Amino acid sequence: MGLREFLRGFQLAAWTTVLTLTGAGAGHAGTMEIAIVTSRDIAPYRAAYQGFLEVLDQADIHYRTVEYRTERDRRKSSQVVQKIRARRPDLILTIGSAATEVVSGEIRDIPIIFSLVLEGGGGESSRGQNVTGASMDIPVRVQFEKIHQALPEARRFGVLYNPSRTGKLIDEARTVAEELQLELVPIAVETEAEVVDRLADLDGKIDLLWSVADPTVFTPQSVRYILLYTLRSRIPFIGLSPSYVRAGALLSLSCDYRDVGRQAGEQAVQVLQGSKPQHVPKTYPRTVSTYLNLNTEKTLNLKIADPVREAAEVVSDS
């Protein structure tokens, strides 16, 4: 059975069937049980899962997996957590922010490794010492350096953010911008409605609009407005992901999902071999790609630096 079909077999609450993976030490004494928890079946999660399993197989870890899916309904998700508790796995892998929030919020006595989580400068404070993992947050310094390589004349980076959500990240970004001789122009908002009003405050004050993973700022409705506004105002918009670039953002930076899964696998091996999660450092993407919309570049009458253009993944408008 292929991975796609395998993951599509998730039930709404959780699987109760244990799958012993071929080539993973089935039937050996001391087989480890790993709970795999996701909130949905999408390509990035499947890629991360594949990378995770590759590392375990290479490390000759004898394991079996039990798969679960969390629900948007918190009561149903709690039922999933109770099923995990009842099995007492040796380790839990959570893939994605939603699954990680549910599981890490309720389980404090089983090691948890997360993968493909966007934290936006927060999220760690509510987790126990049993949690570590592979974040998909690209460090601010890496982002600013790559953006500046693409648009070397841009010095003023605007950003919309909710202080209660991503204030810590913005504080870090201020420091990084100063060190790189850039200027960060932050605009605070507390509601989605404020996004529309405050965008106008950036007129003439910024050379591009940078984005952070802030759920107050980026909703389906606000994203459409931000895309339209930046195109009309000829402001380069740096999106959160390639999907933003397909929708009209100039460019975005993205991690290698499979490699982030491999990073989580490397952490899992350490924990399964005896390390405590709190002693296994959280990791950040070690492979970062640039996605570029050439139509937007033309519309904005911009010229992306040739080395960046040649290395970028070109994305067409959707």
- pLDDT tens digits for range 222-254: 999 999 999 999 999 999 999 999 999 999 999
Summarize pLDDT for 22-46 with one digit per residue, the tens. Answer: 333 333 458 999 999 999 999 999 9
Nearest CA-CA partner of 87 in 107, 102, 66 = 66
Could you tell me if 221 and 240 lie in one domain?
yes
- Predicted local distance difference test score (pLDDT) of residue 200: 87
Could you tell me if 108 and 229 lie in one domain?
no
CATH number of residue 308's parent domain: 3.40.50.2300
Q: With 70 as the cut, is the pLDDT of residue 165 above it?
A: yes
Could you tell me if 170 and 36 lie in one domain?
no
Q: How far is CA 302 from the centre of its chain?
A: 29
Could you tell me if 45 and 16 lie in one domain?
yes
* Gap between the Cα atoms of 110 and 223, Å rounded: 38
Structure tokens at 144: 């600013």
Q: Which domain holds residue 245?
A: 140-254+288-314
More confident residue, 71 or 147: 147
Could you tell me if 144 and 246 lie in one domain?
yes
Could you tell me if 87 and 97 lie in one domain?
yes
Q: Based on the structure, what is the number of domains in the chain?
A: 2
Could you tell me if 216 and 145 lie in one domain?
yes
Could you tell me if 8 and 122 lie in one domain?
yes
Could you tell me if 165 and 206 lie in one domain?
yes
User: If you average pLDDT over residues 268-287, what whole number do you get?
Assistant: 97
Amino acid at 91: L
pTM over 0.85: no
Could you tell me if 9 and 95 lie in one domain?
yes
Nearest CA-CA partner of 233 in 158, 163, 125 = 158
% of the chain at pLDDT higher than 90: 81
Could you tell me if 270 and 189 lie in one domain?
no
Place of tokens 């989605």: 192
Q: With 70 as the cut, is the pLDDT of residue 18 above it?
A: no
